[in-house]
Structure 1
Amino acid sequence: MTRKLILLIGLIIVVAIFLKFGRSIYMPVINKIKGNQTVETRIDDIQVDVWDRLENNLNLAGYKMDYPKEVILAAFKEEQILQVYSKDYNGVKLIKEYSFTAFSGELGPKLKEGDKQIPEGIYEVEYLNPNSSFYLSIKVSYPNEFDKSKTELPNFADMGGDIFIHGKSATIGCIPIGDQAIEEVFVLTQKAINNKVKVIISPRDFRTNPEYPNITSIEWEKELYELIEKEIKTLPNNGYNP
């Protein structure tokens, strides 16, 4: 193998890694060139109104002057509810919950591109999109390593992706919560993004209904739901907060 070919392959690998993991670096530049909003300018536009709407919720959770530095997003498909929790040295507290504004698929994990399923598992927020077709959106890190370890598909790309929590009221596998709600979750997530924002997506709230759904299309649902239930049980069982 010639030196030039080795360098070319190395360059391709570096570029591929940067495109996959360097979005937070290059997207603000692209958005600025295109005249689009950045996360920062979008936050500047909405955070005063968001604080006014969330101030009472945040005060009850112990935040008088600022947003929590760590948050957890927990979505329950059967209940069609997204809950946002703060986490600090005082423990985990519910800040607010939001109803889904649309739903697709059924109980059970996402298995492939185009199945219209909302994933189930333990994820993280990958990035925030201030220029979404659905107003604002939050990228969920599906597929995770567990998903990849269970797939029977030949390529991970066939598992699908582009799973977001977003505004508006339409979905084919994402979690829409409406525009006002996504403003609030967008700001809460942005304020905590440096501490990694955990996203739990569960078929149902195992705190109130501990029975695991029977998913006939897979043989590993018990393993998946034990992992999810363990995470859910770290959250306070303090009821819903419409």
Structure 2
Amino acid sequence: MKWFLKLLLLFSMTTTTIAQTDFKAHQLTFERVRTAYKEKWPVLKTELETAGIKEAFNLYIVAYKYESRLEIWVKDRNKKQYQLFKAYSFCANSGTLGPKIKEGDLQTPEGFYHVNAFNPKSNFYLSLGVNYPNGIDRLRSGKEKPGGDIYIHGNCVTVGCIPLTDEKIKEVYVLAVEARNAGQQQIPVHIFPFKMNTANLNKQLPRFPQQKNLWETLRVGYDYFQKNKLIPTVTELNGKYIIK
């Protein structure tokens, strides 16, 4: 029985390693991904090591619409907290503050999401899909079609996505592949209307009073991360985010 358990454990470890390695290997079969790795990975790897990230890391992506800013946070598996690694400016914007409600409204979503697709053959060079709409988005849309196909991508055009330029998306895409390949099954993407401090809320709420409930809920998640440098646990219940 002992030898069988050892064999089963070895098999489990082997298949896990293969499954993780296969993701990056598959991505590298695409020319644009190979180009991104060739151009960006040597420098990124050195920058990660300089930042103290020498082992497998987890990735957290956070976007601020008003500031047109995308931040990349990383956490070494052996460390407790995330640290800011990179920040990129959006190269185009569409819509205004407030969540996406329906197809064609040009709005960029606001809420708690995760990467649900890696697209190495995107019409916008490379792209990472965001799992909009979630249950809260669908409920908010009511009878309207909520829309979809929200991506972080290259190029500089948008009707609700987050465009970064081809050069910037190469870096973000490579980092996401590395995190996924190291075993991070879900990469959080949190999209906020702005940096959700008191001053910004007091400035923007008079302009968008209808967003008060949503923004105050988003702020709970924002504040949790700012205080702890850890990603909050977010669930959905009866059309609301529950944050712990």
**CA offset at residue 225 of structure 1?**
1.6
Counterparts of 2:154 and 2:189, CA distance in 1 = 17
Q: 1:203 aligns with which of 174, 179, 193?
A: 193
Aligned partner of 1:232 in structure 2 is 222
Counterparts of 2:98 and 2:158, CA distance in 1 = 16
Matched, 1:129 2:116: no
Aligned partner of 2:165 in structure 1 is 178
Aligned partner of 1:41 in structure 2 is 29
Q: 1:190 aligns with which of 177, 185, 194?
A: 177
Q: What one-letter code is carried by the residue in structure 1 that aligns with 2:61?
A: L
Counterparts of 2:224 and 2:36, CA distance in 1 = 31
CA contact (8 A) 2:41 2:174 kept: no
Q: 2:43 aligns with which of 40, 53, 57?
A: 53
- Tell me how many residue pairs correspond in the alignment: 195
Counterparts of 1:236 and 1:188, CA distance in 2 = 22
In structure 2, relative to structure 1, the CA distance for the partners of 1:169 and 1:71 (3 Å cut) is same
Question: Share of identical aligned residues, percent?
Answer: 37
**CA offset at residue 233 of structure 1?**
2.6
**CA offset at residue 222 of structure 1?**
2.7
| Pairing 1:1-242 to 2, within 5 Å after superposition | 39-42=27-30, 43-64=33-54, 66=55, 68=57, 70-87=58-75, 88=77, 89-153=79-143, 158-193=145-180, 194-207=184-197, 209-211=199-201, 213-214=204-205, 219=210, 221-236=211-226
**CA offset at residue 58 of structure 1?**
1.3
Counterparts of 1:41 and 1:50, CA distance in 2 = 17
Counterparts of 1:183 and 1:92, CA distance in 2 = 22
Q: What one-letter code is carried by the residue in structure 1 that aligns with 2:67?
A: E
Aligned partner of 1:11 in structure 2 is none
**CA offset at residue 234 of structure 1?**
3.8
Q: Note the residue ranges of structure 2 that are not aligned, 5 or more in a row.
A: 1-25, 228-244
Counterparts of 2:186 and 2:166, CA distance in 1 = 23
In structure 2, relative to structure 1, the CA distance for the partners of 1:218 and 1:139 (3 Å cut) is farther
**CA offset at residue 229 of structure 1?**
1.8
Counterparts of 1:236 and 1:55, CA distance in 2 = 26
CA contact (8 A) 1:61 1:94 kept: no
**CA offset at residue 224 of structure 1?**
1.9
Q: Note the residue ranges of structure 1 that are not aligned, 5 or more in a row.
A: 1-37, 238-242
**CA offset at residue 83 of structure 1?**
0.3
**CA offset at residue 218 of structure 1?**
8.0
Superposed CA RMSD: 2.5
In structure 2, relative to structure 1, the CA distance for the partners of 1:53 and 1:111 (3 Å cut) is same
Counterparts of 2:80 and 2:50, CA distance in 1 = 13
Task: After superposition, give the CA deviation of every residue in 1:72-106 in whole Å (9 maximum; x if it has no partner).
Answer: 11010000000011134330101100000110000
Name the SS of the counterpart of 1:103 in structure 2: coil
Q: What one-letter code is carried by the residue in structure 2 that aligns with 1:81?
A: R
CA contact (8 A) 1:200 1:231 kept: no
TM-score, length-scaled by structure 2: 0.71
In structure 2, relative to structure 1, the CA distance for the partners of 1:215 and 1:141 (3 Å cut) is farther
